[in-house]
Structure 1
Amino acid sequence: MVSSPHEAMHRIFQEYPTLFSGVAEVLGVGFPPPTTVTVLPNDLTETSPVERRVDTLLRLETENDGPFLLAIEAQGKKDPNKPASWAYYASYLLTKYRLQPMLLVVCQDRATAEWAAQQVSFGPRQWPLLTLRPLVAGPHNMPVITNPAQVRKDLALATLAAITHATHPNAGAILKSVTTVLRDTPQSIANPIIELIAQGLGKHPAAELWRKLVAVDLSFYKSPLSEEIREEGRVKGRAEGRAEGRAEGETRRAAEDVLEVLAVRGIDVPEEARERITGCGDPETLRRWHRRAVTTSTAEEIFEDE
């Protein structure tokens, strides 16, 4: 099953297609900013029953180098079958579109990223026929951005960096720098960022931290995530209120039961004993007093050994 981090790591390039140029620059490869970007169908299935889908596929137009295809794969773990699939994607895309293909792999853990970055050759040892060299973005080479000024400089890159650093020790500072910038960012721009980071962090501990930062720092926003957090708070508050109300009601009834048994048996209950019974908030103690009230000769005897 596809995980939410997997979706966020490649879908961000659909939301911000020019992000690739920034990522490539961070990785030390020069790709000029595209002049136009087209999101293409990601289905690479042929007429045979084998289905092959790249996560995201973009056509990028550039002024000097012309158009090229960018396939983006979000990789969550090592998979020995993937290099062959990626080589297939490249050759298929070249055949179908007659444009040079480029592959970017995005990872959240260093071991997977370093594995994905390895050059893989296909063919006999004496004469390799194909060589696969994907460009890889992950926690090993994405910047750790904790300065709001850097976030403001490239919000899309900062978003991807936050997702790839989901398990970084400074995840809190990274996420805080993003919410600091989002405070004065138009809601139409901030909302996709909020949702992408929430999706990208998945079930990592940083996800809960992000939810809290959104709830506090961005409480004035009405993004789906912030509304969800606020609704969870309201539901939790109502549930806790109901639970407290039920507990108080049960305790009150237990105290009344003790007094009723004493009254039915004709035992006088001094004011001090009555206050002690009605003021008790422990259901177990009240149950014990109730049992004693059935046999005791005075109200004070129910408190013996307490």
Structure 2
Amino acid sequence: MKFGTNEQKKKYMRIAANEGIFAFGLTEPDAGSDAAGLKTTAKRDGDYYVVNGRKAWITNAGVADVYIVMAKTSPEKGVKGISAFIVEKGTPGFTVCSDEEKMGMRGSNTAGLIFEDMRVPKENMLGKEGDGFKIAMVSLDCARISIGAIACGLSEHALEIAKNYAKERIAFGKPISNFQAIQFKIADMVIGIENMKLITYNVAEKYAKGEEFTVDAACCKVYAGETCCRICDEAIQILGGNGYSKEYPAERLYRDAKLLVIGEGTSEILRMLIGRTTLAD
């Protein structure tokens, strides 16, 4: 919506309104955290751009109706030579690879994309030529708010599982919820969740008001992702051996949570962003 032309908005917002699925194609086999190092190219040929290259770890790949694909239109310009294209499923030369066998988040389709002389109409460029990296970074900022919300939901589920189990599990003649060690774990989980909610709401409000929120989104993503991992780990610890079993859902939450410190910018990359931006002021 932010970068599209009126014609693009009219066409693709209708698809979104009718429950169409979209995907974001930035990551490549050799370009993850180093997004500027992507190798997919788009060469102008009359009224079309001819796209060649590969993408990796693309969420909704294979089920999406529309893909936003980043490709280099001017490789010699580095990040300023990256452009964004709207690609519809079924476009000739566009192939979706097999789904990744992931550790967690297995309910979400994730696969690679292959482009072989795929011809994209010039009117399907999103923004202007060279705007791709900027579009990608803005999109990632927004996605990091979503990570905060996902982390809150996963953590609340983990807390509920741990709390209910602690009330029912009898050890040494009484529910383990009576032991201070368990109470402290539960307390730390609650504190973490409340903090996650606050930081997520704060950055979401800044975004809604049109304020600068890049660093806030990075802080939100790092804190919420890492806190969620700790909470899910503690949930397993409270369940003990049962937490390690697939008969209980705690282990699934633990596996799902790990993605939150990797996807949409690793914790390490975001700490670099936060530190450099803060020191530059």
Q: Normalising to structure 1: TM-score of the pair?
A: 0.23
Asked which structure has the greater CA Rg, the reply is 1
Normalised TM-score (structure 2): 0.24
Q: Which structure is richer in relative contact order (CA contacts within 8 A, separation 6 or more)?
A: 2
